[in-house]
Amino acid sequence: MAKRRYLAFAVAAALVFANSVENALVSNAKAANTTEKTAPAGPTSVALVKLEKSAYEAWRSKDAKFWDAFLSDNFVGWGAPGRLDKASATKEYTGADCKIKSYALSEEHMSPLGKDEALLTHKVTVSGTCGGKEIPTDSWAAGVYVREGDKWKKVFHAEAPIIDPIAAAVNPVDQEDARAEVKAKPTNQDARTDGMFAVERAVWEAWRAHDAKKIADLTARDISFINIFGIHLATKADALKNWSGTGCEVKSVGVTDAAGTMLSPTVGILTFKATADGTCYGQKVGPVWGTSVYVKDGDHWKWSFGINLRAGREGA
């Protein structure tokens, strides 16, 4: 009798244990499904283009209230006076001296940079004036968006007017500025900015030397670039072919005044000033306002995207 009671107890205990395990597995599965369902979705090209168009409309209509919610507090960019933060960008984008008749975006392309960061590039055609001067009709623009809470905010913007590189001339005054810039000391930096800055200088040296292999090693798998003439190089193959070609003949380069804007531990924006002693398509390069986006690949920073502007010649 005792033996039968023991067996009955053992069977009952086994059933209770099996039910407990099954319930735990079901609970874990439900939790996993809930996590998957509630995980924030990445941005879509349609959503970011819609935000981008709303910014151009706010610029056209001088909607000063728009920018406080649209721009990230960490915003950085380039404008007529040089490097911009959120306050100076808001002032520039709502400037009363701009009269915009029309604008149109085209050739939009969105590239994820990380879980909460994305790059949007596009061509923009504008009809209007700023300060009584005609705005360049066509430009290539770049914007970086970052997720803050449940909203996507803009953390970087710049535009490079599309110009004929053969006809583009550099003001002699700019050359004086260029020589002064080479002597400038870099901005105080943290370790992550230092890491990106070291790669940036190496990229410029590799470009100067037409070293396609070195550039390939320093850059991410998928890259794009907008140069000082508003030429958009949409793929890594295009960029490597252009940078290692004979369009530019440069004796020396200088990269200074670097500032890092970290979007996450694995995504950062580096803004800087650069000079190149030489020519591109027969024209002197002059001083450059540069921006590069970096992504972390293991322990190394990789150059992912860049836009360079002829200093003092920013578009809108």
pLDDT in tens, 271-307: 999 999 999 988 889 899 999 999 999 999 999 999 9
> 14 Cβ partners below 8 Å, 6+ apart?
none
> 227 Cβ partners below 8 Å, 6+ apart?
160, 233, 242, 308
Does 263 have pLDDT greater than 90?
A: yes
Q: Nearest 5°: phi and psi at 198?
A: -65, -40
Place of tokens 């920013």: 314
State how far the alpha carbon of 158 is from the alpha carbons of 32, 154, 202, in Å.
Answer: 41, 11, 23
Q: pLDDT grade, residue 137 (50/70/90)?
A: very high
Does 170 have pLDDT greater than 80?
A: no
Does 177 have pLDDT greater than 60?
A: no
Distance separating alpha carbons of residues 163 and 96, to the nearest angstrom: 26
Tens of pLDDT, residue by residue over 158-167, are 999 999 887 7
At 311, list the tokens. Answer: 């200093």
Distance separating alpha carbons of residues 30 and 277, to the nearest angstrom: 62
Average pLDDT on 179-192 reads 52
pLDDT at 8: 45
Does 187 have pLDDT greater than 70?
A: no
pLDDT at 69: 97
Can you list the alpha helix ranges (DSSP code H) found in the chain? 2-38, 45-61, 66-70, 86-93, 172-183, 191-208, 212-218, 236-243
pLDDT at 97: 84
User: In the chain, what is the straight-line distance between the N-terminal and C-terminal CA atoms, in Å?
Assistant: 94
pLDDT at 279: 93
pLDDT at 267: 97
Distance separating alpha carbons of residues 73 and 163, to the nearest angstrom: 32
Most trustworthy range by pLDDT among 95-99, 267-271, 312-316: 267-271
Cα dihedral value 8, 11, 15, 16, nearest 10:
60
Residue-range domains of the chain with CATH: 45-161 (3.10.450.50), 172-310 (3.10.450.50)
Question: What does the mean pLDDT of the chain come to?
Answer: 84
Average pLDDT on 78-90 reads 93
Tens of pLDDT, residue by residue over 52-78, are 999 999 999 999 999 999 999 999 999
